[in-house]
């Protein structure tokens, strides 16, 4: 599957399952809200979660984004970067871009959004598409 073929589903659907690998080799999976940002698939997460620790250790993750009503999906595997929480206007702006791309534009003021991000210490996680596969067509 090519990126341009997968992109419409990735941009229009925001429910995903991210998979990372635990130190014992087992998969760890978590439901997340997703968005396309900078040509990568991203999500936000608190910094102390198991998935963040796994990604920090391995530098990789897999994410499957699902179109729930038709069960079509795209899986993206690849190297993964973490933009760790920073209480800076630039980091908060990046988080706002991510949430907006998820279809979850922050309600309230920029200051209220920044306060929530500070309380949650959100990291921005971006998976670079290295391998893509899935099911985009009916009957596939």
CATH code for the domain of 14: 2.30.110.10
Mean pLDDT, the chain, whole residue set: 94
Domain for residue 140, yes or no? no
Q: What is the pLDDT of residue 51?
A: 97
Task: Report, as an integer, the average pLDDT of 29-50.
Answer: 96
Find the domain containing 88 and state its range.
3-135
**pLDDT value at 40 more than 90:** yes
Residue 111 CB coordination number (10 Å): 9
pLDDT tens-digit readout, 43-69: 999 989 999 999 999 999 999 999 999
Helix (H, G, I), strand (E, B) or coil at 125: strand
> What is the number of domains present in the chain?
1
pLDDT tens-digit readout, 63-98: 999 999 999 999 999 999 999 999 999 999 999 999
Domain for residue 101, yes or no? yes
* pTM given for the model: 0.93
Helix boundaries (H) for the chain: 3-12, 50-58, 89-101, 110-120
Q: Which of 102, 112, 135, 97 is nearest to 6 (CA)?
A: 135
Domain for residue 126, yes or no? yes
Domain for residue 54, yes or no? yes
HEC readout, 87-121? CCHHHHHHHHHHHHHCCCCCCCCHHHHHHHHHHHC
* Tally of CA atoms within 13 A in the half-sphere of 82 that contains its CB: 22
Domain for residue 63, yes or no? yes
Domain for residue 24, yes or no? yes
Q: What is the pLDDT of residue 61?
A: 98
Alpha carbon distance 101, 83 (integer Å):
17
């Amino acid at each position: 599957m090519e990126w341009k073929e997968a992109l419409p589903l990735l941009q229009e659907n925001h429910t995903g399952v991210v998979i990372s690998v635990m130190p014992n080799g087992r998969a760890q999976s978590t439901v997340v809200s997703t968005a396309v940002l900078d040509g990568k698939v991203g999500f936000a997460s608190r910094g102390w979660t198991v998935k963040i620790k796994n990604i920090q250790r391995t530098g990789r993750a897999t994410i499957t984004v699902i179109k729930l009503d038709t069960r079509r999906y795209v899986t993206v595997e690849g190297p993964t970067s973490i933009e760790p929480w920073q209480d800076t206007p630039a980091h908060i702006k990046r988080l706002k871009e991510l949430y907006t791309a998820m279809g979850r534009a922050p309600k309230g003021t920029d200051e209220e959004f920044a306060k929530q991000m500070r309380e949650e210490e959100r990291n921005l996680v971006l998976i670079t598409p290295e391998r893509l596969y899935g099911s985009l067509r009916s009957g596939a």
